């Protein structure tokens, strides 16, 4: 298991996503940014899931957090919803996109739990 928020960890996310498929009608780009840390994005398109290092060109929704918040979410000690409510995880974009794609996001959470 790679150390969270490292290049190796982002590559592990990419490896976990590789070969996974979802409903072909879904197109979604989520971007994650850590203050003073990495950025990466997840793309769901044409039935495929992809994780890439770096920012996305036009994310549907993006998240930004301080390193301590991102680490706490990565190790499971902080619920992302709680982080949003408390203002520790900033969300940009339309949150209805997340609700509309909840089933896919739940599956991805299970997939990435191993990383």
Going from the C-alpha of 49 to that of each of 59, 85, 89, the distances in angstroms are 14, 28, 23
Q: DSSP readout, 37-56?
A: S-EEEEEEETTEEEEEES--
User: Residue 1: inside a domain, yes or no?
Assistant: no
* Domain span including residue 42: 7-108
- Domain tally, the chain: 1
User: Residue 113: inside a domain, yes or no?
Assistant: no
The answer on pLDDT for 33 being more than 90 is: yes
Residues written for the chain? 115
26 confidence band (pLDDT: 50, 70, 90): confident
User: Residue 114: inside a domain, yes or no?
Assistant: no
User: Residue 115: inside a domain, yes or no?
Assistant: no
User: Residue 23: inside a domain, yes or no?
Assistant: yes
Q: Once rounded to an integer, what is the mean pLDDT over residues 26-55? A: 94
Tokens of 40: 């990466």
Tens of pLDDT, residue by residue over 56-113, are 999 999 999 999 999 999 888 999 999 999 999 999 999 999 999 888 888 777 767 7
User: Residue 94: inside a domain, yes or no?
Assistant: yes
The CATH number of whichever domain residue 25 belongs to comes to: 3.30.1050.10
The answer on pLDDT for 1 being more than 80 is: no
Measured CA to CA, the distance from residue 29 to residue 76 in angstroms comes to 23
């Amino acid at each position: 298991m790679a150390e969270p928020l490292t290049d190796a960890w982002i590559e592990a996310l990419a490896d976990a996503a590789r070969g996974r498929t979802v409903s072909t009608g879904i197109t979604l780009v989520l971007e994650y940014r850590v203050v003073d840390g990495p950025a990466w994005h997840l793309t769901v398109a044409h039935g495929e899931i992809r994780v890439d290092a770096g920012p996305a060109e036009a994310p549907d929704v993006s998240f930004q957090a301080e390193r301590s918040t991102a680490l706490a979410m990565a190790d499971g000690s902080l619920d992302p919803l709680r982080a949003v409510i408390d203002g520790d995880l900033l969300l940009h974009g339309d949150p209805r996109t997340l609700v509309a794609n909840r089933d896919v996001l739940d599956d991805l959470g299970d997939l990435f739990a191993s990383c």
